[in-house]
Copies of this chain bind each other. A is one copy, B any other.
Amino acid sequence: MICNRTVETKNLNSERSFSAEKMQKVNLFETERMFADIYCLEPGQEQKRHAHSGADKIYLVLEGTGRFHIGNDERELGQDQIVLAPADVDHGVRNESQARLVLLVFMAPNPNTAKSPAQ
């Protein structure tokens, strides 16, 4: 049992960061096994459709409304709605509203640190 690490807490309201240039990703926590980010989208910004081999993503809408594409489904989701983009399924989100969109994103495993099978 490991008991001597520093415990880090964050506040979702103070971690937000927007840019006129593009959607901002703010990392909250990252391990070999997963990450949690906040995505901040000004009106008109988007995360383009893409897919992750073998990694699941969850989006939770913290503020605003987003238009989500997951597989062949497209729907608007607002505050407190949560959705799963399963591994290998094409997904993306666009802020088509006139207000800011803030998402909590959880992904597992972490594609940034995943070891290849050969390692």
Binding site for B on A (CB under 8 A): 1-13, 28-29, 31, 33-34, 36, 51, 54-56, 58, 60, 70-73, 75, 77, 80-84, 86-90, 104, 106, 108-109
- The A contact surface, by secondary structure, is loop
CA distance A77 to B8 in the complex (A): 11
Nearest-CB residue, chain B, relative to A8: B84
The reply to whether A71 and B109 contact each other, CB–CB distance below 8 Å, is no
Q: Please tell me how many copies of the chain the complex holds.
A: 2
CA distance A10 to B72 in the complex (A): 18
Among candidates B36, B51, B77, B87, residue contacting A31 with C-beta atoms closer than 8 Å = B87
CA distance A81 to B31 in the complex (A): 19
